[in-house]
Structure 1
Amino acid sequence: MKPIVQTSFAQANQGQHPGGSLYLVATPIGNLEDMTYRAIRTLRECDIIAAEDTRQTRKLLTHFDIPAKQLFSYHEHNKAASGPEIIRYIIEGKNVALVSDAGLPAISDPGSDLVRLAIADGIPVIPIPGANAALSALIASGLPTERFTFIGFLPRERKDVMEQLQGLGAASGTLIFYESPHRVKRTLELLKEALGDRSIALARELTKRYEEFVRGTVSECQQWLEEHPPLGEYCIVVQGASIEDELREQNAWWQELSLEEHVARYEQEGMSRKDAMKRTAGDRGVSKRDVYNALL
């Protein structure tokens, strides 16, 4: 099977592609000056703007004096119907700009689904880069930037959060999370429980007037939030595992054991089978469901 190759967005402008193109346009994450000249020009030139929140996008267009376009609603709850319709417009020759409420589309929003649909139909996908909250928080966090993992929003259920965090416990790269103000305290509690009292940075209201960075251990940042109630959206940047943690993981006693043997070892220590399977899943950084299914 041959790879899908898109050599240049200019092909679409030179008549080499029969239809239009999909432009992924970054929008401000706070300060309106985050907007690039290229993003403004692209929004002016595209035939259709697909937006996560059309009301928010209308405000942006008005601010930059961009003529009213055909605004198309595209979000998590209507993507199944809206996605194919947007693709149809592009195939008919329309250029479509996709924007999210803030930052890069396709990051923690359904834009990635639309990108996959476009690629499947041979439509050129053209990124118009700009502001991004995760990377902005990372570069100002003071934590290592050589290797990092973007996780985004954690699940809502505690057990699902703990499964995901335990799977990240041995990752040596810096970890980046998004969190809302009403959940950030709880998330710090779970981070501390699953990963330990690591160094972190809390980034709030990025590029806005009240932008704020709080740097310290999880415990220190928890204390800060007790004294300064959370406001605004947060990026949580978390130090990765230490070399010692990595070595400990690599030399784990269970590495040579099969799943059944691993579970049996905990059962011999007096654990119930259910708890033994849960502990095994945590050791190996996999979900409990994977262990259960493997041992059925």
Structure 2
Amino acid sequence: MPLTSPRLWVVATPLGNPDDLSPRAREILQAADLILAEDTRRAAALCARCGIHGRRFLSFYDHNEAERQEEVLRLLREGRTLALISDAGTPLLADPGYRLVRACRKEGLPVSPVPGPSAPVAALSAAGIAPLPYTFLGFLPRDAAGRENLLAAFAHAPGSLIFFERKDRLKESLILAARILGARDLAVCRELTKTHEEFILGRLDSNGGISPELPIPLLGEITVIIGPPEQVERTPREEVAQLARLELARGGKPREVARRVQSAARGWSGKEIYALLRDAGDSAEQ
């Protein structure tokens, strides 16, 4: 396929080491009429480091993707060659671009990938945690309730879980993950492909802790891998229901009661515990 063929190219860019930009990606970025980038200054700096000169950039990020979409589609209809990049790694994976690619597909406008660096894949390839199957969760939600709901929804998913997290929320999120997911292998991967690349291997324990204790704060971009569920004997429903009744009688806020029940049971998600508490509360009122 000619590199100048009019289309939207979805181009993977380096996570940190500029030498990871593929020759094909470099050629496409040089040939593109316009480069769509989350941060045009970072994109220009990357191109300069890689010897790509004289390019035009258009900012394209989460908060302007919707308003920029029609302009981009118009350029593609006119036969322009556009390249979509993110700040680092493969676009669309936790980065903007999905709505644009979907709109292109609906209109029959050609879209082609230029594969390359991807933080989830890079982390998984070198962490030593079971790679298949795996579920990529993107960035964890900012609020604690959102993080709890997301982790609970995937508590029983087979395989490993991979997500991005900010350094200032990392410890809190891992303690929450330990409480919800139970004992599992853990890898905290930071600064992938960069000078200070580091893989911190440890464990989430069934008591809601992390071992070894993480050095805080951890600097740089962080990718977390939590290993697959370990085979545990699930506490019988009757025992958990009895626990629910006892803990309800002790009192406390619903979340505190649910946490006490879940810490005493094995193999039960937060959603299941809340359902049991609701049933136990309904029974007590009758």
Instruction: State the TM-score, normalized to the length of structure 2.
Output: 0.80
How far, CA to CA, are the matches of 1:284 and 1:120 in structure 2? 40
Q: Does structure 1 residue 32 correspond to structure 2 residue 14? A: no
- 1:167–1:34 Cα change, 3 Å: same
Residue 107 (str. 1) matches residue 97 (str. 2): no
Q: CA deviation at 1:266?
A: 6.1
User: 1:294: which partner in 2?
Assistant: none
Is the aligned partner of 1:43 residue 2:43?
A: no
**1:184 counterpart (166, 170, 174):** 170
What's the offset of the Cα at 1:54?
Answer: 0.3
Of 180, 203, 206, which aligns to 1:217?
Answer: 203
Q: How does 1:142-291 map to 2 (within 5 A)?
A: 142-218=128-204, 219-221=209-211, 223-226=213-216, 229-244=217-232, 248=234, 253=237, 270=248, 275=254, 282-284=270-272
Partner of residue 5, structure 1: none
Q: In 2, Cα distance between the equivalents of 1:64 and 1:160? A: 39
1:291 match: none
Instruction: Provide Cα deviations, 1:74-126, integer angstroms capped at 9, x if missing partner.
Output: 00111111111111101110010000110001111111121111111111110
Give the distance between the partners of 1:281 and 1:133, measured in 2 at CA. Answer: 28
SS in 2 for 1:223: coil
The answer to whether the 8 Å contact 1:167/1:286 transfers is: no
The letter of the residue matching 2:95 is D
Distance 2:175 2:248 in 1: 29
Match of 1:67 in 2: 53
Looking at structure 2, the residues matched to 207 and 174 of structure 1 have their Cα atoms a distance apart, in angstroms, of 22
Whether the 8 Å CA contact 1:188–1:222 is kept in 2: the answer is no
In structure 2, the CA distance between the partners of 1:35 and 1:286, relative to structure 1 (3 Å rule), is farther
Aligned equivalents of 1:286, 1:172: Cα separation in 2? 22
Deviation at 1:243, TM superposition (A): 3.6
What code does the residue aligned with 1:59 have?
A
Counterpart code for 2:21 = M
Partner of residue 83, structure 2: 97
How far apart are the structure 1 equivalents of 2:274 and 2:46? Answer: 43
CA gap 1:285/1:75 in 2 versus in 1, 3 angstroms: farther
Aligned residues: 257
Deviation at 1:270, TM superposition (A): 4.8
CA distance in 2 between counterparts of 1:104 and 1:83 reads 19
User: What letter matches 2:113 in structure 1?
Assistant: P
Say if 1:103 and 1:131, in contact at 8 Å, map to a contact too: yes
Computed over aligned residues only, the root mean square deviation of the Cα atoms, in angstroms, reads 3.1
For structure 1, list consecutive stretches of 5 or more residues without a partner in the other structure.
1-8, 14-19, 255-262, 288-296
Please give the per-residue CA displacement for 1:118-145, whole angstroms capped at 9, x wherever unaligned.
1111111100011111111111111111
| SS of aligned partner of 2:45 | helix
Distance in 1 (CA, whole Å) between partners of 2:212 and 2:143 is: 21
Provide the C-alpha distance between the structure 1 equivalents of 2:165 and 2:93, rounded to a whole number of angstroms: 14
Over the matched positions of the two proteins, sequence identity in percent amounts to 36
Contact 1:168–1:285 (CA under 8 A) maintained in structure 2: no
CA distance in structure 1 between the partners assigned to 2:273 and 2:42 by the alignment: 40
| Inter-partner Cα distance in structure 2 for 1:12 and 1:43 | 10
Give 1:286 deviation, angstroms: 10
Question: Residue 214 of structure 2 aligns to a residue in which SS?
Answer: helix
Opposite residue 226 of structure 2, the aligned amino acid is V
Seen in structure 2, the aligned counterparts of structure 1 residues 286 and 133 have a Cα distance that, compared at 3 Å, is farther
Change (3 A) 1:212 1:101: same
Shift of 1:208: 0.2
Long gaps (5+) in structure 2: 259-267, 276-286
Letter in 1 for 2:108: G
